[in-house]
Amino acid sequence: MKGRDAKPHLGIFGRRNNGKSSLINCLANQDVAIVSSEPGTTTDPVKKSMEISGIGPVVIIDTAGTDDSGELGKKRVARTREIFRHIDLGILVLAENLFNEEEEFVIQQLNKWEVPYLVVHNKSDLQPGSDGLRNSLRETTKHEVFDFSTLHPHNKEELIGLIRNAIPETAYLSKSLVGDVISQGDLVLLITPIDEEAPEGRLILPQVQAIRDILDNDAIAVVAKEREVDALLKRLSPRPALVITDSQVFKKADASIPDDIPLTSFSTVLARYKGDFESYLAGTPHLSKLNNGDKVLILESCTHHVSCDDIGRVKIPRWLSSFSGKQLEFEVVAGLNKIPGEIEDYSMVIQCGGCMITRKQLINRLKPAVDAGIPVTNYGMAIAYMHGIYNRAIAPFVNLEPNTISYL
């Protein structure tokens, strides 16, 4: 399941024929999911972007029934289990007061991945949720059961209100990229190489996001290629309050930008914006502690055309092998695909900026490594560290005092 949308992601779970797809259609006010009385109509998880009145744009993931059977059914359920770590809110759909191992597993997984959730008892026009079900769930999960009927949705607005209140604020990513380190009227210089990896006719998403964020904070964005920077600085007025560079030309930017002008990278900005920045800060120095035979996991958040000088698949492995002087093994995983083997097989994890996935997806992508005590970092911070300019790259966002790092 590829994550390519930063809108809040809602996962719908439950048994076959409990009305999951009907619930999606009811919330969307349109037929966006196939509905049938035949159990198992929904097979693989399907993402549906939609606008829910009172909530706004969301992505709802319609999943196969958790009680699917047979060899194919087991594969469908396995695909459903991959969804838990990618969502911001879960909705468990019950019917006929059934609550057994399948439902317990869903709640277990939601709790494991720290996903808030609602419990909706559908088809309540035929059979309302019983007091026994309510009391049991209240006692074991601290959750209430919301009675609903997709055929007679008289309390639909109440359900939408519950969904709106349950979606965590972090799912909307409303904070600013650099708004807390620049002021109104500041000039921010963006260094953006145009090479064979640059998309034809446009900038990459992190660069566009940075420009928009700078303008939203009433500052001025100036964009230049790396070979124009030296000449530009001689006539640029006012001097930049901040310079953000593509990680691949970090060393060139460090040489060109005077020491008194803060310098960071697009990837480092994204690391603080939606990544596990605290774990990155703790994990990055472990790049100096790798040993011969160590396996390094490189995580890309999207799939793209791979060039002969690809940053994640070619340049970072080459730089890290040279920096460490060790014989290392590298595994690259694109999108949100399954990680080969066990996470304990790896000595280091290097995550891209994550511009194409949600914060929740990125955090949960790294969670197994963080829980296992495996050091994690991201592209920009790793590149800065390997090129000896790590402290300068993170300085705009942390206080660098002896033996301490604190957030600004």
For residue 106, what pLDDT is reported?
Answer: 94
Same domain, 29 and 160: yes
Same domain, 24 and 162: yes
Query: Does the pLDDT of residue 221 top 70, yes or no?
Result: yes
Query: Does the pLDDT of residue 408 top 60, yes or no?
Result: no
**Using 50, 70 and 90 to split pLDDT, how confident is the model at 407?**
very low
Asked whether residue 376 is domain-assigned, the answer is yes
DSSP state, 85? G
Asked whether residue 317 is domain-assigned, the answer is yes
Asked whether residue 291 is domain-assigned, the answer is yes
Query: Does the pLDDT of residue 117 top 90, yes or no?
Result: yes
Under 8 Å between Cβ of 82 and 1: yes
Under 8 Å between Cβ of 360 and 1: no
Same domain, 30 and 154: yes
Same domain, 18 and 146: yes
Asked whether residue 220 is domain-assigned, the answer is no
For residue 75, what pLDDT is reported?
Answer: 77
Query: Does the pLDDT of residue 230 top 80, yes or no?
Result: yes
Same domain, 149 and 288: no
Same domain, 166 and 284: no
> Of 69-73, 141-145, 333-337, which has the strongest mean pLDDT?
141-145
Per-position b or e across 86-123, b if 16+ CB within 10 A of its CB:
bbbbbbbbbbeeebeebbeebbebbeebebbbbbbbbb
Interatomic CA distance for residues 242 and 181, integer angstroms: 8
Query: Does the pLDDT of residue 384 top 60, yes or no?
Result: yes
* Residue where one domain finishes, among candidates 146, 172, 198: 172
- Residue 40 vs residue 369, higher pLDDT: 369
Asked whether residue 25 is domain-assigned, the answer is yes
For residue 400, what pLDDT is reported?
Answer: 47
What residues does 263 pair with on adjacent strands?
243
How many domains in the chain?
2
Interatomic CA distance for residues 13 and 10, integer angstroms: 10
Same domain, 32 and 146: yes
* Residue where one domain finishes, among candidates 172, 194, 220: 172
pLDDT digits (tens, 9 = 90+) for 234-244: 999 899 999 99
Lowest pLDDT segment from 153-167, 300-314, 377-391: 300-314
**What CATH number is associated with residue 58?**
3.40.50.300
Q: Whole domain around residue 151: which residue ranges?
A: 9-172
Query: Does the pLDDT of residue 394 top 60, yes or no?
Result: yes
**Using 50, 70 and 90 to split pLDDT, how confident is the model at 405?**
very low
Q: What percent of the chain has pLDDT over 90?
A: 58
**What CATH number is associated with residue 354?**
3.40.50.11410
Interatomic CA distance for residues 351 and 386, integer angstroms: 15
* Residue where one domain finishes, among candidates 172, 189, 214: 172
Asked whether residue 163 is domain-assigned, the answer is yes
Asked whether residue 74 is domain-assigned, the answer is yes
**Using 50, 70 and 90 to split pLDDT, how confident is the model at 349?**
very high
- Residue 302 vs residue 143, higher pLDDT: 143
- Residue 277 vs residue 336, higher pLDDT: 277
pLDDT digits (tens, 9 = 90+) for 74-112: 777 788 888 898 899 999 999 999 999 989 999 999 999
Asked whether residue 215 is domain-assigned, the answer is no
Query: Once rounded to an integer, what is the mean pLDDT over residues 285-298?
Result: 97
pTM, to two decimals: 0.65
- Residue 41 vs residue 379, higher pLDDT: 379
